[in-house]
């Protein structure tokens, strides 16, 4: 059995992906879910199969918060 059962996958824009990745590697972060597992995308016919949100208090190259997926949680979350 793996000792790591849950983790956050950080998503960055192409130009700043390495910078974003290195900034959060090995750190604890708080992720706010704006699209919890099982929720419907507001514009497209897409149901989110995973908890998707953003890292609180961050800014990515596109001017929005840094996107993140929470892997290994199987219930809809408000935050992680």
Strand order in the sheet with 67-71: 7-11, 67-71, 51-55, 31-35
Q: What is the pLDDT of residues 7-32, one digit of tens each?
A: 666 665 555 666 666 777 777 888 99
Number of domains observed in the structure of the chain: 1
* The pLDDT value given to residue 3: 44
Alpha helices in the chain (DSSP H): 17-24
**Which structural domain range is residue 59 located in?**
7-71
On whether residue 78 sits in a domain, the answer given is no
Q: Is the pLDDT of residue 79 over 80?
A: yes
> Is 76 inside a domain boundary?
no
Does a structural domain hold residue 2? no
Residue 80 in domain: no
50, 67 in Cβ contact below 8 A?
no
Confidence of residue 75 (pLDDT cuts 50, 70, 90): very high
With respect to residue 63, please indicate whether it lies within any of the assigned structural domains: yes
- In the block, tokens 């879910």 appear at 33
The length of the chain, given as a count of residues = 80
Three-state DSSP class for residue 13: coil
Tell me, yes or no, whether 46 lies in a domain. Answer: yes
* Residue 32, domain member (yes or no): yes
Q: What is the mean pLDDT of the chain?
A: 81
* pTM check: above 0.85: no
CA angle 2, 29, 32 (to 5 degrees): 105
For residue 1, pLDDT over 50 is answered with no
Mean pLDDT computed over 36-51: 95
């Amino acid at each position: 059995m793996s000792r790591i059962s849950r983790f956050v996958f950080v998503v960055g824009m192409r130009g700043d992906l390495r910078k974003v990745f290195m900034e959060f590697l090995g750190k604890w972060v708080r992720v706010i879910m704006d699209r919890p597992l099982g929720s419907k995308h507001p514009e497209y016919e897409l149901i989110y199969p995973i908890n998707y949100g953003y890292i609180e208090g961050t800014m990515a190259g596109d001017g929005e918060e840094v996107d993140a997926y929470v892997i290994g949680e199987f219930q809809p979350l408000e935050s992680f």
